Amino acid sequence: MRRNYSHFLTVLLLCCGCAGQSKQEQNASTVQEDSLQAVATPVEADSTAKHIGTFLTKELQADLPAMTTEDRRFSFYAVDLNGDGNTEYLVKPESRYFCGTGGCTFFLLDSNYSLHTKFTVTTPPIYVVAHKTNSWHDLALEADRDESGKVKNYIYLSYQQDGRRYPGNPSLISKSETAPEGIISTCWPSGEQQTMHSF
């Protein structure tokens, strides 16, 4: 009887040891995976800026000789505008070189960093609103202001199915006195400092 009891204790200790070792190995594996995920995040961000920079270099090739180093800076926002799980990128060249009296040039790139829509005479902020047209979120811009500086009306950019893009010239769109509802994201809000990238 005593021999059987001793044998039982031996088996029990061995089982506990194996379980403890398995749990330690599992914890070590989890820590390793978490560390790899943490390292991957900034690399992905750097890669995105690099791809956008490559697009701008090709898109603006004719303008590069006239541009200074300060002209070759940009900021961007990542947003899924059509809910397909792929990210689009709103890109703003950060230089007066790309601006006129009516506004500045912006680019919308698809998830492959190809040009989707080129916006001219556009002034931030750009609001991404909940309402969709042809499965794409509408974009809203502030238009005129009154003497006190309050926004009087807005311009809504709705996705055009026939052209498969947003209207590129907001100045040609009729203005609305209705303020945007259900704002999902605000790109380049007033007073917010942007992360700058170079190309």
For residue range 120-173, what is the model confidence (pLDDT) as tens digits? 999 999 999 999 999 999 999 999 999 999 999 999 999 998 889 999 999 999
What contacts 76, CB < 8 A, 6 or more positions away? 48, 49, 52, 89, 90, 91, 92, 197
Residue span of the structural domain in which 117 resides: 56-198
**Is residue 2 included in any domain, yes or no?**
no
Alpha carbons 85 and 80: distance in angstroms, whole number: 7
**Is residue 80 included in any domain, yes or no?**
yes
- Joined tokens for residue 49: 């800026």
Using 50, 70 and 90 to split pLDDT, how confident is the model at 45? low
For residue range 69-97, what is the model confidence (pLDDT) as tens digits? 999 999 999 999 999 999 999 999 999 99
Helices (H), the chain: 2-59
**Is residue 35 included in any domain, yes or no?**
no
Task: Scan for tokens 């026939």, then name that residue.
Answer: 162
**Is residue 40 included in any domain, yes or no?**
no
Range from 34-38, 54-58, 66-70, 102-106 carrying the lowest mean pLDDT:
34-38
Mean pLDDT estimate for the chain:
82
**Is residue 11 included in any domain, yes or no?**
no
Task: Scan for tokens 């506990």, then name that residue.
Answer: 16
How many domains is the chain built from?
1
